[in-house]
């Protein structure tokens, strides 16, 4: 668990500059990826009233805000949106940004909520940072109610060859650590991102792990030339 502690500590260190660095590095495109994930999830869930949405590795709360705003557009009434993150630094920033939401310090492998209680569990660009990923998927399954959804947005390892993956890799490995380091004053943290993608699983492997945890895959799509991937899976 030493590796997990180091990752959490790193996010504590960059918490105050995390939002601006993310917007700059993704050119703001991550907003459209998040919106698409929320819209599709509400469509698949097919409910006008949702009791609980849990955003895991919530960081400073951006995904929670998207869940709330997209719910209104889809005329979905959400009783509660809960953000869970192991980084105290991230949660402190999130509480100031979004005082209307509830935040909790907890981990992806132990959400500290009741079994069969959540309608949706999301994790946006965070599952890559969970060392015990399959244990987390089992935890998600246990905490979702029957028919509940897990929504994952993540940078996955490219399975293709050619010029586009090479351009993506150049940006991730060269430009991202440099620009992210300038903004956050922590280049090592932004060197971790491309390294973690290189060491991460492919979309096919992600689907296999979700299915092995009992989920049925409803949606898998790639955004922006395969830079980001969306997975929506349902508890049976």
Q: Match 């995390």 to its residue by tokens.
A: 18
Residue 182 covered by a domain: no
pLDDT at 162 (0 to 100): 65
pLDDT at 106 (0 to 100): 98
Its domain, for residue 127, covers: 2-157+201-235
- Interval 56-73: pLDDT, tens: 999 999 999 999 999 999
Tell whether the model's pLDDT for residue 208 goes beyond 80.
yes
> Cα(143)–Cα(3) distance, rounded to whole angstroms?
25
C-alpha neighbours within 13 Å on the C-beta side of residue 233: 23
Report yes or no on whether pTM surpasses 0.75: yes
Nearest Cα neighbor of 12 from 105, 122, 136 is 105
**Strand ranges (DSSP E) for 97-142?**
102-105, 118-124
Residue 35 covered by a domain: yes
Residue 80 covered by a domain: yes
Strands 228-235 and 215-223, by their bridges, are antiparallel
* Selected residue with higher pLDDT from 137 and 168: 137
> Cα(142)–Cα(159) distance, rounded to whole angstroms?
31
- Percentage of residues in the chain with pLDDT exceeding 70? 82
State the average pLDDT for the chain. 88
> Cα(12)–Cα(18) distance, rounded to whole angstroms?
10
Residue 187 covered by a domain: no
Tell whether the model's pLDDT for residue 25 goes beyond 60.
no
> Cα(210)–Cα(187) distance, rounded to whole angstroms?
33
pLDDT at 61 (0 to 100): 96
Q: Which two tokens stand for residue 143?
A: 């905490």
- Interval 151-200: pLDDT, tens: 999 987 666 666 766 766 666 666 666 766 666 667 776 677 767 777 88
Residue 19 covered by a domain: yes
Rounded (10°) angle between helices 88-97 and 18-26: 80
**Got the DSSP string for 63-125?**
HHHHHHHHHHHTT-EEEEEEEEES-HHHHHHHHHH-TTSEEEE-BTTB--S-TT-EEEEEEES
Residue 170 covered by a domain: no
> Cα(166)–Cα(169) distance, rounded to whole angstroms?
5
Residue 51 covered by a domain: yes
> Domain holding 20: CATH number?
3.40.50.150
pLDDT at 161 (0 to 100): 64
- Interval 212-231: pLDDT, tens: 999 999 999 988 767 789 99
Tell whether the model's pLDDT for residue 131 goes beyond 80.
yes
Strands 77-85 and 102-105, by their bridges, are parallel
């Amino acid at each position: 668990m030493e590796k997990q502690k180091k990752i959490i500590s790193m996010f504590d260190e960059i918490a105050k500059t995390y939002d601006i660095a993310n917007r700059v590095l993704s050119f703001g495109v991550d907003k459209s990826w998040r919106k698409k994930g929320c819209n599709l999830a509400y469509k698949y869930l097919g409910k006008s009233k949702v009791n609980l949405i849990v955003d895991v590795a919530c960081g400073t709360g951006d995904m929670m805000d998207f869940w709330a705003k997209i719910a209104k557009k889809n005329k979905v009434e959400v009783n509660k949106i809960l953000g869970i993150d192991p980084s105290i630094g991230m949660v402190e920033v999130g509480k100031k940004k979004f005082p209307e939401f509830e935040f909790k310090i907890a981990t992806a492998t132990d959400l500290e909520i009741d079994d069969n209680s959540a309608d949706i569990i999301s994790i946006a660009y965070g599952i890559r940072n969970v060392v015990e990923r399959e244990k987390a998927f089992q935890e998600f399954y246990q905490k979702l109610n029957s028919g509940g959804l897990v929504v994952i947005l993540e940078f996955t390892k490219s399975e293709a060859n050619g010029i586009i993956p090479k351009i993506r890799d150049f940006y991730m490995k060269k430009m991202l650590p440099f620009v992210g380091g300038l903004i956050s004053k922590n280049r090592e943290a932004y060197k971790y991102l491309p390294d973690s993608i290189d060491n991460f699983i492919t979309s096919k492997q992600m689907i296999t792990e979700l299915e092995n945890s009992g989920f049925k895959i409803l949606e898998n799509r790639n955004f922006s030339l395969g830079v980001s991937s969306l997975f929506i899976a349902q508890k049976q």
